[in-house]
Amino acid sequence: MAHQSDLIEKDIEAYLLSQEHKSFLRFITCGSVDDGKSTLIGRLLYDSKLIYEDQLQTLENDSKKMGTQGDKMDLALLVDGLAAEREQGITIDVAYRYFSTDKRKFIVADTPGHEQYTRNMATAASTADLAIILIDARKGVLTQTRRHSYIASLLGVKHIVVAINKMDLVEYSQDIFQSIEQDYLTLAADLTFTDITCIPLSALNGENVTRAGEQMDWYKGSALLPFLEHVDVAKDHSQMPFRLPVQWVNRPNLNFRGFSGTTIGKNIHVGEEVIVIPSGKRSCVKSIVTHDGELQEAVADQAITLTLEDEVDISRGDVICAAESPAEQSNQFAAHIFWMAEDQLLPGRQYLLKTTNKLSPATVTELKYKLNINNFEHEPGKSLELNEVGYCNINLSQAIAFDSYKDNRRTGSFILIDRITNNTVGVGMLDFSLRRAKNVVWQDMAIDKSARAELKHQKPCVLWFTGLSGSGKSTIANLVDKKLMDLGRHTYVLDGDNIRHGINKDLGFTDVDRVENIRRVGETAKLMVDAGLIVIVSFISPFVSERRLARSLVEDNEFIEIFVNTPLEECERRDRKGLYKKARLGEIKNFTGIDSSYEEPENAEIEIKTLECSAEEATMEIVSYLEDKAFLEA
């Protein structure tokens, strides 16, 4: 603890006063074990004289026992924490370290480098203002460099330091440094950083870590620690419009009703007009209450309690906003989701979504594409696995206040919680509202679904036929349609082939297109159900998630899944359209059953085994089902 030790010894009170205005920086380090990440942090702690003698003793003992530096002290051991990790010599979780200089207090999150620990890096990045990306000078920009940069960018880290380490092993070559610098700037061209600073260093020898290096005269920039002391992050926090997400309603007695929360963005003053989202109610700030007395003005990130001039109904989950630039509100969003659980994300399943101050049930209605975190490319996908990122549509049961994550991390972020295990399974960054008219309430129709259905003497529903090509779906669907018509019911058939000639003619057979195909059919069926019709859909619809998606669009009891179960060999034997033959010859790609899988329904309402009954018998079974469940009133 050597900094300012003279002042500490001679005038401790003056020293304490000088420390009061120290600022604060949270940063992360990304890189793999081999890049010397833990050594770098160990070096920062060691050179800042922040290691006590007894810790140093432990370090010396540990270095002998399990160090990797021979007789030298292994500074990485200062940082690696949990017992299992120490034995394996790798960092698994996120470890937080604290150190300070005379100018700043630092919190550094050390995160693992391997791909399977990507979620840990995302965790650390979520609260960091700056990321140090380590590159081994011998190896240059690697896949993991791209991955770490992309995650930092996705999580909204604005400032990047590229620490080009192990310069001692490349003879402190300026050419190598410049070439890596150039490669990195090319890589980061599409990412959303506000600044990128490259520093050549040797963590092992302490070159350009806390002090300028002696070996690299050609480098004119500042060493790492001085740079971290001076980088300006305050304006990242204070330039956004004012928000107060209400965390807790403060009611000590009947005469006081305050709204407690932590401020975001620009200063707020007594007398200023505010608007509450989502209710849209307006009022003015009456007082800013703290334990230390009332304030005239509050700054960003301050924990305060506001009272308002008018009696406005506000509860936890609401966001008090600057009147001239309120947060948006919506119940449908496009968002990036980062999946953090072993069990995959299932579109259509209900999760709990928690924002900074509100919990609500939510469904991922559609996975538009997956993002390859190693090369930033979009890829089709039907679900997300651990450590995967996807761009999704999300549906909430109620409208919430939000901002786009790129504008505001605190009001643009959320976590997804599994309803059964209570685990945090995913995290997300809101992009924009899917409702075009943001402040328009859903149009209430004078005549509703039940009125239309009553007129037709039926309960509207979707009969969703799924099965392999050639299984007999369309044959049975047409017979059902005819039978219902005979019974005087109002129906309509949406057939896969016919739809693909019209509304979906722009779609192919990739996974992404299949999802969109089903979404459009599902939405169309939903409109028809709303009009009071019994809608007969005949689609291969091979994936569980797609069928779940279609099911989620209508009400619980309105979706009847009919699995037309015909073995593949039988379908191929029938081959009425000659498609299987072409698929076998490789003339048709992505053909279900041949080179694309069919996921059998597990909980279909009706299963028809076509080898065991005729199409007419199947039809009777389906119509009886409708009668039994009172879809067809007398």
Partner 1 sequence: MSELTHLERLEAESIFIMREVAAESDNPVMLYSVGKDSAVMLHLAMKAFYPSKPPFPLLHVDTTWKFHEMIEFRDNLAKELGLELLVHINEDGVKQGVGPFSHGSQVHTDIMKTQALKQALDKHQFTAAFGGARRDEEMSRAKERIFSFRSDQHRWDPKTQRPELWDIYNTRIHKGESVRVFPLSNWTELDIWQYIYKENIPIVPLYLAKERPVVERDGVLIKVDDERLPLEPGEEPMMKMVRFRTLGCYPLTGAVESSAATLPEIIQEMLLTTSSERQGRVIDHDAAASMEKKKQEGYF
Q: Name residues contacting partner 1, limited to 425-454 (CB under 8 A).
A: 427
Q: What residues between 558 and 587 interact with partner 1 by CB under 8 A?
A: none
Shortest approach of partner 1 to residue 251 CB, angstroms? 7
By the 8 A CB rule, do 536 and 493 touch? Answer: yes
Shortest approach of partner 1 to residue 250 CB, angstroms? 5
- Site membership for partner 1, residue 342 (CB under 8 A): no
- Candidates 192-200, 300-308, 365-373, 622-630: pick the segment binding partner 1 (CB under 8 A): 300-308
Cα torsion through 78, 83, 86, 88, rounded to 10? -160
Shortest approach of partner 1 to residue 147 CB, angstroms? 18
CA 540 to chain centre: 31
- Candidates 90-98, 325-333, 521-529, 611-619: pick the segment binding partner 1 (CB under 8 A): 90-98
Amino acid at 495: D
User: Residues 588, 593, 597, 602: is their CA dihedral positive or negative?
Assistant: positive
- Name the residue nearer to partner 1 (CB basis): 235 or 505: 235
- Name the residue nearer to partner 1 (CB basis): 92 or 176: 92
Tokens of 484: 């219902």
Q: Quick one: which of 196, 352, 386, 620 contacts partner 1 (CB under 8 A)? A: 352
- Site membership for partner 1, residue 355 (CB under 8 A): yes
Shortest approach of partner 1 to residue 247 CB, angstroms? 5
By the 8 A CB rule, do 129 and 178 touch? Answer: no
How buried is residue 349: exposed, middle or buried, by Cβ count under 10 Å (0-12/13-18/19+)?
A: middle
- Name the residue nearer to partner 1 (CB basis): 15 or 376: 15
CA dist 307 and 256 (Å) reads 8
CA dist 442 and 452 (Å) reads 20
Cα torsion through 476, 481, 487, 492, rounded to 10? 160
Query: Which residue bears the tokens 């190896």?
Result: 139
- Site membership for partner 1, residue 22 (CB under 8 A): yes
CA dist 584 and 567 (Å) reads 17
CA dist 462 and 601 (Å) reads 16
- Name the residue nearer to partner 1 (CB basis): 159 or 166: 159
Query: Which residue bears the tokens 């608007």?
Result: 275
- Site membership for partner 1, residue 20 (CB under 8 A): yes
| Contacts of residue 146, Cβ cutoff 8 Å, sequence gap at least 6 | 187, 374, 375, 376
Q: Quick one: which of 171, 175, 190, 252 contacts partner 1 (CB under 8 A)? A: 252
- Candidates 122-130, 142-150, 448-456, 489-497: pick the segment binding partner 1 (CB under 8 A): 122-130
Tokens of 407: 């504008």
- Name the residue nearer to partner 1 (CB basis): 303 or 451: 303
- The site that binds partner 1 (CB under 8 A) totals a number of residues, namely 80
Shortest approach of partner 1 to residue 67 CB, angstroms? 13
Q: What residues between 46 and 85 interact with partner 1 by CB under 8 A?
A: 52-55, 58, 62, 81-83
Shortest approach of partner 1 to residue 88 CB, angstroms? 13
Shortest approach of partner 1 to residue 55 CB, angstroms? 6
Q: What residues between 197 and 236 interact with partner 1 by CB under 8 A?
A: 234
Count of other CB atoms within 10 angstroms of residue 386: 16
Give me the residues paired with residue 320 across strands: 244, 276
CA dist 614 and 616 (Å) reads 5
Tokens of 241: 């419009």
- Site membership for partner 1, residue 12 (CB under 8 A): yes
Shortest approach of partner 1 to residue 1 CB, angstroms? 5
Query: Which residue bears the tokens 């980061």?
Result: 188
- Name the residue nearer to partner 1 (CB basis): 81 or 226: 81
Shortest approach of partner 1 to residue 565 CB, angstroms? 39
Q: Quick one: which of 185, 303, 455, 630 contacts partner 1 (CB under 8 A)? A: 303
Q: E strand or H helix at 250, and its extent?
A: strand 248-250
- Site membership for partner 1, residue 630 (CB under 8 A): no
Q: In a 3-state reduction of DSSP, which class is residue 495?
A: strand
Give me the residues paired with residue 363 across strands: 350, 395
67-104 per-residue burial string, b: 16 or more CB within 10 A, e: under 16: beeeeebbbbbbbbbeeeebeeebbbbbbebebbbeeb
Q: What residues between 312 and 341 interact with partner 1 by CB under 8 A?
A: 316, 340
Q: Quick one: which of 251, 269, 581, 629 contacts partner 1 (CB under 8 A)? A: 251
Question: Which of 538, 541, 545, 552 is the catalytic position?
Answer: 541
**Active-site annotation holds for 23:** no
CA dist 348 and 552 (Å) reads 6
- Name the residue nearer to partner 1 (CB basis): 340 or 564: 340
Count of other CB atoms within 10 angstroms of residue 131: 27
Shortest approach of partner 1 to residue 96 CB, angstroms? 5
Q: Quick one: which of 290, 439, 450, 614 contacts partner 1 (CB under 8 A)? A: 290
Q: What residues between 393 and 422 interact with partner 1 by CB under 8 A?
A: 409-410, 413-415, 417, 422
Shortest approach of partner 1 to residue 426 CB, angstroms? 9
Q: What residues between 148 and 177 interact with partner 1 by CB under 8 A?
A: none
* Phi and psi, residue 82, nearest 5°: -65, 145
Q: What residues between 518 and 557 interact with partner 1 by CB under 8 A?
A: none
- Name the residue nearer to partner 1 (CB basis): 305 or 566: 305
CA distances, 526 to each of 213, 283, 488, 539, 559 (Å)? 68, 41, 21, 15, 10
- Site membership for partner 1, residue 96 (CB under 8 A): yes
* Phi and psi, residue 301, nearest 5°: 70, 25
Count of other CB atoms within 10 angstroms of residue 254: 6
By the 8 A CB rule, do 534 and 484 touch? Answer: yes
Q: Could you say which DSSP state residue 351 is in?
A: E
Q: Quick one: which of 73, 299, 434, 531 contacts partner 1 (CB under 8 A)? A: 299
Shortest approach of partner 1 to residue 487 CB, angstroms? 49
Cα torsion through 516, 520, 526, 528, rounded to 10? -160
- Site membership for partner 1, residue 116 (CB under 8 A): no
- Name the residue nearer to partner 1 (CB basis): 279 or 287: 287
Q: In a 3-state reduction of DSSP, which class is residue 28?
A: strand
- Name the residue nearer to partner 1 (CB basis): 244 or 623: 244
- Name the residue nearer to partner 1 (CB basis): 8 or 323: 8
- Site membership for partner 1, residue 105 (CB under 8 A): yes
Q: In a 3-state reduction of DSSP, which class is residue 199?
A: strand
- Name the residue nearer to partner 1 (CB basis): 261 or 532: 261
Q: Quick one: which of 34, 47, 93, 605 contacts partner 1 (CB under 8 A)? A: 93
- Candidates 68-76, 293-301, 364-372, 384-392: pick the segment binding partner 1 (CB under 8 A): 293-301
- Site membership for partner 1, residue 618 (CB under 8 A): no
The residues assigned a catalytic role are 541
